[in-house]
Structure 1
Amino acid sequence: MTMSGGAGLSDLGLLSDARTFSISAENRDGRSGGGGRATRGDHSTAWASRELPVGWKKSPCIDLEGRSRRTVADIEGPGVLQHLWITVLPQHLRSIVLRIFWDEEESPSVEVPLGDFFCQGWARYVPVSSLPVTVAPAGGLNSYWRMPFRGSARIEVENLSTATIEGFFYQFTWSQEEVGERAAYLHAQWRRSDPLEEMSPHVLLDGVAGQGHYVGTYLAWESHQSGWWGEGEVKFYLDDDLTGAAPGQGGEGAEPPTIFPTICTTGTEDYVGGAWAFEDPQGRYAEYSTPYLGMPEVQRPDGFYASQQRFGMYRWHIPDPIRFRERIRVSVQALGFQRPVDDLVRYKPLRDDVASTAFWYQAEPHVPFTEDPTYRLPTWDLLDPT
C-alpha cells in the first residue's frame, strides 16, 4: 500500500494503491462486497421494506437504546478516515456523545456531544458551509477532518437519554493505506462552564502533553445578561509559556497572572473573523459561514442584545495551525460592557454559559481527558427526547 496523499483537487488526477471502504447500517463492517445484503432491518421502521427483495433498502439506519453505548465502526488499519456523515432528529444532538478511539487505546481521543462536533451545539439544525464541517439540509452532518490511524479506529456513540433514539443514520468512508511516520492523530475535547466562575476564563484545552498542532475551535455561547458579551480575548499558551504552571493554574483571574500567552487575540468576535459586535447595516447580528470561520447560529429570544441569546461560532486553523512541541493551553474570557453612574463605559467580566470543542492533532499516547461530557450536559438534553 502507498499513501494517497491529500484530498484536494490537485491530487485527483494521481493514481494510488489505496483501497476505499465505507461503513454504514447497510454494510456494518465495511467489507468488500458486504453492502446491501440485509434480509431485514433491526430498526423501528423496518416494516417499510417488508415487500422489497434483498438488495433494496432493507437496513438504512439503526436505533440507539436508552442509556446505552454502541460501536458503529471497528476498523483495522493502517488507514485514514476521510468522511463522516450522520443524521438524526435535532432534539438528540446533545443527547448523543461521539467517541473515537485510535489503536486499541482505552481513553478516547475524540469525546464530544454529537451536535457540537458538527457545530450544532444548541440542538437545532443550522446550515454550515466550512471546509472540514458541512451541515446540509435538512440536517446532514458531514466531517472532512482527515483522521489517520495505524493500528485501528473505533467509533462509538452513547445515548445519554432514557428513551430509544430511532433513526440513527451514518456512513463513514475510509481508505486503507500506509500512514507516514510524521502523521499525527486527530483529537477533539468538549468542555463546558455554566456559569463561568467569577473573574475566571473558560478553558478550552489544558493538560496536553506531546508535540502537535491546534486546528480548530467551536463555541456554543449563551449570554446571561443583556448587552454585548464578546470582548473577551482568546489566549494560546504554548510550551515555555506554561513553565512552572500546573494545569488550570497561573493564568488570568481575580489575582494577577503568573504566566502569559504567546498568542493573545483582541476579542471573541475578532477571533472568529468578525468585528464590531457582528452588526449588519440594520444593527442586528449577522450570521455567516465561510471555509475557515463563521457564526452560523444566532438565537434571538428577546431581540438584539437581549439576555439569554445563544450563539454558535467556529474558527478553523487550517491555513494557520498553532504548533506546540510539548504543551498547550487555550482559554477565552467572557467580557462585556457596563455603564455606571458616571456614564463612562467599562469592561465587565461575565458569568455566561460557554461550551467549547477544541480540535488538535498530536502524537499518541495522549493524556486522558479530565472532563466527561455526560456530567456537563444540561438536564433538558437528557429528558425523554420523544
Structure 2
Amino acid sequence: MEYYYKKNNAKSRWASFENPLGEKGAAAKGNAGAKGNACYELDPGETVELLNVKGSGIIHRIWMTFSNLSANELRSMRLECFWDQREKPAVSAPVADFFCCGLSYLSPFENELFSSPEGRSFNSFIKMPFVKGARVELTNESDQKNTLFYDIAYTIEPINPENTLYFHAFWNRQNPTKLGKDYEVLPRVSGMGRYLGMNIGYLLNPSCLHTWFGEGEFKIYLDGDRQWPTMAGTGIEDFVGAGWGMKRFINRTQGVLLYEPENDRAAYYRLHTVDPINFEEDIRVTVQQMGIARYDTLMTMIRDGAQVKAVKASVNGHDISLLEPEGKDYSFAHALTPEGLGTRYLFYREDDCSSTAYFYYEKPESTLPPLPEVSKRLIPEKYCGAFQQFVYIDPSEPRVIRCT
C-alpha cells in the first residue's frame, strides 16, 4: 500500500463510546475530556449500536474487548453488520468466533486479517465497503452484564457499486455431524463473489478415544458443481499447510490456535488472501469428518457403541478402498492374520463442529440461514475446564476469568 498517496476524498473517522456517531469535533466530550465514556455495560438482552453511518465508505479495522471473556459469555454475544440499510445482516456470528477464535478460545495470535495480541482482545483488519450505509450492532444474549470497550475505524469516501463486493460472515454449527455426510462450512450461495476463508472448531467425540480426527478433505463446489467439487484437499493438517498431524502454530494465512487431543478440542483457520477462490455462479464449502485408527482401537470404538464407518483399510502399505468394488469382499478378520497385523482404517466419525466462513459477495445480504439461538451455541462445561484468560479491568487488581 502506498501510504504517501494523496487521498483528499476520504475522511477518516472512529466510532467508539466516546463518539458513537463518528461526528467531526465531537469525541471525548464526557467528564471534560477526561475519559468520560470509554466503555459501556450491556444488560442481559440489550443491543447496542456500535456504528451507524449513512452514505458510502469502508470499515478498515474493528477492535473490542470485554470485562468477561469466558467462552460461553463470548458465544452469547451476537455481532452483526448490516450494509446499505438492509434489514438482514451480512455478518452474524458469536463475537469471538467472528474474530477467528474457533470455539471462542482465546490465545495470543496474529494473522493476515485478525489478531489478539495478548489473548484478551479482538482485532479485525478486513476491508468492509458499503455504498449507502453501514450499521454494526452487538447483542448480549447471556444472563449476565458485560462491559464492552470498542472502536471502529472507517473512512467516508466514494465507492463504485459496479465493482464492489460486500463482506459477509456466516457462523454454523452441527452437533453432532452426520455419519458419512460432509459438514457445511458455507452452504450454497448463488451469485458472484470471492471466498475469503474460515476458522473452525471441533469438540471431538470422546467415543473415538482421542484418535486423529483430521483425515477428512475440504471440498469447494464452484459454479454449478453438484455431486463432485472442483477443488478438494487431502486432509485437515495439509489444508492448513502442515503435514503428518498438527500442533499449535500461527502463520499469516493458516494456523492452529488449539490442538488438545487429550481434551478432545481443536481449532484452526485458513485464509485465502494469497490464493484467491473466486466464484461467478455459486459456491459451497464442506469438510469431511474422518479419522484413522488401528484395527484394535476401531473395534473397541464399535464395541462401545461409537458411530463410525470404515471406508479404507491400509494393510502393509497397500490401501483397500472399502467403498469401491475392490473392497466389497474385504473382511475385518484379515487384520487378525499375521500379514494383516498393523492394519489401519480410515473411518467416518461424528463430532461437534462449528465454524465461521468469510466471503465477499455481490449483494449486501444473502439467503443464508440466521444465527442459531444462543442455547445452540454454548459449549458444554466438560470442554471448558482449561479455558482461562487474564483480564485487567483495573491495572491494580488483575482477575482470572474462567469459562462458565
Whether the TM-score (by the shorter chain) exceeds 0.5 is yes
Alpha-carbon distance, 1:385 to partner: 8.0
Residue 37 of structure 1 corresponds to 29
Matches within 5 A, 1:231-250: 231-242=215-226
Distance of aligned partners of 1:272 and 1:14 in 2 relative to their CA distance in 1, 3 Å threshold = same
2:4 corresponding residue in structure 1: 13
What is the Cα deviation at residue 128 of structure 1? 1.6
For 2:183 and 2:229, locate their aligned partners in 1 and report how far apart those are by CA, in whole Å.
15
In the aligned structure 1, how far is the partner of 2:183 from the partner of 2:380? 22
2:46 to 61, 64, 68: 68
Q: How many residues align?
A: 331
- Give, in whole Å, the separation in 1 of the partners of 2:357 and 2:403: 27
SS at match of 2:237: helix
CA RMSD of aligned residues (A): 1.8
- Given that residues 89 and 365 in structure 2 are in contact (C-alpha distance below 8 angstroms), is that contact kept between their aligned partners in structure 1? no
The secondary structure found in structure 2 opposite 1:276 is: coil
1:265 aligns with 2:236: no
Query: Post-superposition, which runs of at least 4 consecutive aligned residues in structure 1 deviate over 3 A?
Result: none
Instruction: Compute the displacement of 1:213 (Å).
Output: 0.7
CA distance in 2, matches of 1:103, 1:144: 20
Matching residue within 112, 120, 123 for 1:131: 112
Counterpart of 1:289 in structure 2 is: 250
Q: CA deviation at 1:369?
A: 2.3
Which has more radius of gyration? 2
| Normalised TM-score (structure 1) | 0.82
Q: Which has the higher strand share?
A: 2
Higher mean displacement: 117-126 or 54-63: 117-126
Match of 1:339 in 2: 294
Q: 1:365 to 1:24 in 2, by over 3 A?
A: closer
1:249-328 equivalences under 5 Å are: 259-278=227-246, 286-298=247-259, 300=260, 305-306=261-262, 308-328=263-283
Secondary structure at 1:218 match in 2: strand
Q: How far off is 1:371 after superposition?
A: 4.1
Residue pair 1:133, 1:144 contacting (<8 A) in 2 also: yes
Amino acid in the other structure paired with 2:284: R
Counterpart-to-counterpart distance in 2, 1:321 and 1:61: 38
CA offsets 1:16-72 (integer angstroms, 9 cap, x no match): 011100000111111011110124xxxxxxxxxxxxxx1111111111110222222
CA contact (8 A) 1:191 1:371 kept: no
Q: 1:209: Cα distance to partner?
A: 1.6
- State whether residues 98 and 110 of structure 1, in contact with CA within 8 Å, keep that contact through their aligned partners in structure 2: yes
One-letter amino acid of the counterpart of residue 230, structure 2: T
What is aligned with 2:397? none
Identity %: 31
CA distance in 2, matches of 1:138, 1:56: 28
Runs of at least 5 residues in structure 2 that lack an aligned partner in the other structure: 297-334, 336-341, 382-401
1:171 aligns with 2:151: yes
Separation of aligned partners in 2, 1:216 and 1:136? 21
Alignment match, 2:365: 366
Contact 1:28 1:72 in 2 (8 A): yes
For residue 86 of structure 1, what is the aligned residue in structure 2?
64
- Structure 2: distance between partners of 1:100 and 1:366: 10
C-alpha contact (below 8 Å) 1:208/1:366 kept by paired residues: no
Question: Structure 1 CA distance, aligned partners of 2:104 and 2:285?
Answer: 25
Match of 2:350 in 1: 351
1:155 alignment counterpart: 136
Helix, strand or coil at the partner of 1:122: helix
Cross-structure match for 2:213? 229
Give the letter aligned to residue 329 of structure 1.
R
Distance 1:33-1:75 versus aligned 2 partners, 3 A rule: same
360-369 or 173-182, which deviates more? 360-369
Using the size of structure 2 for normalisation, the TM-score is 0.79
CA drift at 1:156: 0.8
